[in-house]
């Protein structure tokens, strides 16, 4: 067990990390608005842009554990500054590169690495270590709600930037905004001074080996794969799906994604709050089952603007509400020392799912001319995740104390 010698200002940590998350997640969620204008400008199929977004999500996951290790060891502030610079570079790359593979690989690596440094995995550690134990689950919920607020507030901003300045200039504005907000906020994040009692001094390797050998951790990895597949497929392809079905007004898609962000503020906050006194594994299973029902009803009901809005509100309540519960379970089982790293490993699974969700959406649409098959896969995976989270044991893992030297 380790403790803080000097507690940081918890409210400052929540505010500064929340603003970073707001922008990181807000910009990322709006990238689907560029699918059609970039594809039309360069003469690409949807598969090309889908591959770029898929690689961003995959690289976000691949770099996640390493960003978490760096945040745990060297401090979250340094990692966020580095991530802000990468984010700026990735947005500029998307604006300037017109060769398909260079566009996909370059933006995938740059923005994927940037998100690993500025989103939930890297930030979870400082939030968990700064929060009082009785408020930790709620703190994770507030942090997730900040990411949701970013989706709500940035959707209309990004769409308006594209409409007013053009898709290329919109990237320039966002690149400047990312650096202008994230870098000052990073310097507001002061890590708690941690001391150790000598009983369970774990290296990075020991913590990693312990986690991957533990069955509940494996269940969390499997469930989080599904979360990534569902939310990124819907976030990236819903605007195009609606146009394909005859809802040509772009404001419908903007409102839909904004509603997801708005309702996810409440979903994430209350998921974290409920996780403070209800079994988190049951809450996770309920979320995945509810997603499956919402998607099924959306596909069965006649499509209209109101059916889109109702679906978006329902999905918003369930969108990132998995994040505070999953991070809360990891912290409860393994403790706080390697929280960012272990959250990064679980999030890698999430991003493998994200990669497949967004890429399969573009691939199967190109081959079949519709999203029907991917919707069916999304429903089946939701049922799988419902079952996988039920047996998760949330109790702290028992470790043998180190022998006295």
Give the whole-angstrom CA distance, residue 196 versus residue 4: 9
Tokens of residue 112, six digits: 């994927």
Tell me whether residue 403 is in a domain.
no
SS3 content of the chain, % helix, strand, coil (to 5): 80, 0, 20
Q: What is the pLDDT, as a whole number, of residue 126?
A: 85
Tokens of residue 229, six digits: 């597949």
Tell me whether residue 173 is in a domain.
yes
Tell me whether residue 395 is in a domain.
no
Q: What is the pLDDT, as a whole number, of residue 57?
A: 78
User: Residue 314: helix, strand or coil by DSSP?
Assistant: helix
Give the whole-angstrom CA distance, residue 252 versus residue 111: 27
Q: What is the pLDDT, as a whole number, of residue 194?
A: 55
Tell me whether residue 242 is in a domain.
yes
Give the whole-angstrom CA distance, residue 49 versus residue 321: 28
| CATH number of the domain enclosing 29 | 1.20.1250.20
Q: Which domain holds residue 284?
A: 7-194+204-388
- Phi, psi dihedral angles at 386 (to 5 degrees): -55, -45
For residue 68, CA distances in Å to 13, 82, 131, 266 come to: 17, 13, 18, 27
Q: Where are the alpha helices (DSSP H) in 188-304?
A: 204-212, 215-244, 250-274, 280-300
- Phi, psi dihedral angles at 279 (to 5 degrees): -60, 125
Tell me whether residue 393 is in a domain.
no
Tokens of residue 117, six digits: 């440094």
CB atoms within 10 A of CB 2: 17
Tell me whether residue 1 is in a domain.
no
Residue corresponding to tokens 């990181």: 24
Q: What is the pLDDT, as a whole number, of residue 308?
A: 96
> Number of structural domains, the chain?
1
Q: What is the pLDDT, as a whole number, of residue 197?
A: 45
pTM attached to this predicted model: 0.78
What parts of the chain have a pLDDT lower than 50? 1-7, 197-198, 403-405
**HSE-up of residue 286 (Cα within 13 Å, Cβ side):** 13
Q: What is the pLDDT, as a whole number, of residue 200?
A: 54
Give the whole-angstrom CA distance, residue 315 versus residue 104: 28
For residue 267, CA distances in Å to 7, 21, 95, 127, 293 come to: 29, 16, 34, 19, 17
- Phi, psi dihedral angles at 195 (to 5 degrees): -120, 160
Tell me whether residue 396 is in a domain.
no
User: Residue 319: helix, strand or coil by DSSP?
Assistant: coil
Helix (H) or strand (E) segment spanning residue 32: none
170, 31 contact by CB (below 8 A): no
Helix (H) or strand (E) segment spanning residue 390: none
Tell me whether residue 262 is in a domain.
yes
142, 261 contact by CB (below 8 A): no
Q: What is the pLDDT, as a whole number, of residue 400?
A: 61
Helix (H) or strand (E) segment spanning residue 364: helix 339-368
């Amino acid at each position: 067990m380790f403790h803080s010698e000097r507690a940081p200002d918890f409210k400052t940590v929540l505010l500064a990390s929340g603003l970073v998350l707001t922008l990181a997640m807000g910009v990322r969620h709006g990238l689907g608005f560029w699918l059609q204008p970039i594809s039309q400008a360069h003469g690409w199929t949807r598969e090309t842009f889908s591959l770029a977004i898929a690689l961003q999500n995959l690289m976000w996951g691949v770099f996640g554990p390493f960003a978490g290790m760096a945040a745990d060891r060297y401090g979250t502030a340094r990692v966020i500054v580095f991530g802000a610079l990468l984010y700026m570079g990735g947005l500029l790359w998307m604006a300037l590169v017109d060769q398909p593979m260079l566009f996909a690989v370059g933006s995938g690596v740059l923005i994927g690495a940037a998100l690993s440094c500025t989103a939930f995995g890297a930030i979870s550690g400082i939030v968990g270590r700064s929060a009082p134990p009785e408020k930790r689950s709620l703190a994770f919920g507030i942090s997730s709600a900040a990411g949701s607020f970013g989706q709500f507030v940035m959707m209309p901003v990004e769409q308006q930037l594209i409409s007013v300045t053009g898709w290329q200039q919109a990237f320039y504005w966002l690149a400047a905004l990312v650096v202008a907000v994230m870098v000052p906020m990073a310097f507001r994040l002061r890590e708690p001074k941690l001391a150790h009692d000598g009983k369970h001094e774990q290296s990075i390797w020991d913590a990693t080996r312990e986690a991957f050998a533990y069955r509940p951790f494996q269940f969390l990895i499997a469930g989080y794969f599904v979360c990534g597949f569902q939310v990124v497929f819907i976030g990236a392809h819903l605007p195009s799906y609606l146009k394909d079905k005859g809802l040509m007004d772009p404001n419908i898609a903007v409102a839909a994604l904004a509603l997801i962000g708005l309702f996810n503020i409440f979903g994430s906050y209350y998921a974290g709050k409920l996780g403070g006194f209800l079994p988190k594994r049951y809450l996770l299973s309920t979320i995945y089952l509810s997603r499956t029902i919402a998607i099924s009803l959306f596909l069965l009901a006649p499509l209209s603007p109101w059916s889109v809005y109702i679906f978006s509100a329902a999905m918003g309540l369930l969108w990132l509400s998995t994040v505070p519960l999953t991070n809360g379970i990891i912290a409860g089982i393994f403790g706080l020392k390697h929280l960012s790293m272990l959250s990064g490993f679980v999030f890698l699974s999430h991003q493998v799912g994200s990669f497949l969700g967004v890429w399969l959406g573009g691939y199967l649409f190109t081959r079949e001319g519709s999203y029907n098959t991917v919707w069916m896969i999304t429903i089946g995976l939701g049922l799988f995740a419902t079952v996988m989270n039920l047996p998760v044991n949330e109790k702290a893992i028992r470790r043998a104390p180190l022998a006295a030297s």
